[in-house]
Amino acid sequence: MNRRTMKIWRICMLLPMVLMFSVYTFAQDFQFKLSLAEESYKDGNYPESINRYKSIIDSGFSSGELYYNLGNAYFKNRDIKSSILYYERAARLLPRDENVIFNLELARSYTTDKISELNPFFLKVWIQYFRDLLSEKAWGIVNIISLFITLGGMLVFLLSGWSDLQRWSMFIALIALFMFFSSLSLGILQKQNITRTDEAILFSPSVMVKSSPDEGGSNLFILHEGTKVKIMDQLGDWREIRLGDGNKGWIRITDLEII
């Protein structure tokens, strides 16, 4: 073995070790920062806890639990609009977490605007219900498992000479195939829901909603900080927003924080 080959071999041997060390260092650094943020929260130093949680997010790490903890810190610091923002972000990743749902509703109760939600179409409700049964990663796991079961059932059907076994294997394969496409679709919907940018929280203390995207538009109604809106359209730095009760209007993007 020549010198160059030896050098390449050593690099190949060292690369996994360097990668493992980097991952370990990152995990240790994250855990250290997280413990500092939690300690600040327990000590009642909520501004410091907020800064530490945000530094973790700014470093590229995010999770439903992290957003939830940051929402709690903001709520304790009496910044209701920011707590709602991070509870909403946590709810997308943890759609069935009772603590997230309860704290989000609690924070909303402190807002000025009480919006009555219109009843959504029942089919949309059902789709959202099944979508939120599992996380995006969990749907991915179900998708992979169902694919293997489908392939296994088809293989047994093709190789088996026993008619009863063939019938059962085909039956199982068809069910697994249905689960494959269902989990694939629900996983895609979950991914789209997590990454969507058409929902926002009003961050300005109060805003006059306009009938058109300009200051000369008619005044329609006033909204206050913490209110959740859906973005329907955009023109320059103006956004057409819709409330849960169906009311629409235009406000500036600078008044909003995208969920």
**How large is the angle between the packed helices 64-76 and 98-108, nearest 10 degrees?**
30
Domain ranges of the chain: 3-108, 122-195, 199-258
This prediction's pTM:
0.80
CB-count burial class (<10 Å; 0-12, 13-18, 19+) for 202: buried
Q: Which CATH number fits domain 199-258: 3.30.1650.10, 2.30.30.40, 1.10.287.10, 3.20.20.70?
A: 2.30.30.40
CA distance 70 to 90: 9
Query: How many other CB atoms are found less than 10 A from the CB of residue 210?
Result: 20
Buried b / exposed e along 91-108 (16+ C-beta atoms within 10 A): bbbbbebeebeebbeebb
pLDDT for the residue 23: 46
CA distance 23 to 28: 9
Q: Could you tell me which of 186, 181, 180, 235 has the C-alpha nearest to residue 210?
A: 235
pLDDT for the residue 180: 95
pLDDT for the residue 255: 96
Per-residue pLDDT of the chain (259 residues; tens, 9 = 90+): 556 555 555 565 555 655 554 444 555 566 788 889 999 999 999 999 999 999 998 888 888 999 999 999 999 999 999 999 999 999 999 988 999 999 999 999 999 998 888 888 888 889 999 999 888 889 999 999 999 999 999 988 888 777 788 888 999 999 999 999 999 999 999 999 999 999 999 999 999 999 999 988 899 999 999 999 999 999 999 999 999 989 999 999 999 999 9
The CA-based diameter of the chain, rounded to the nearest angstrom, is 82
Q: Which residues pair with 249 in a beta bridge?
A: 241
pLDDT for the residue 24: 45
CATH architecture for the domain at 3-108: Alpha Horseshoe (1.25)
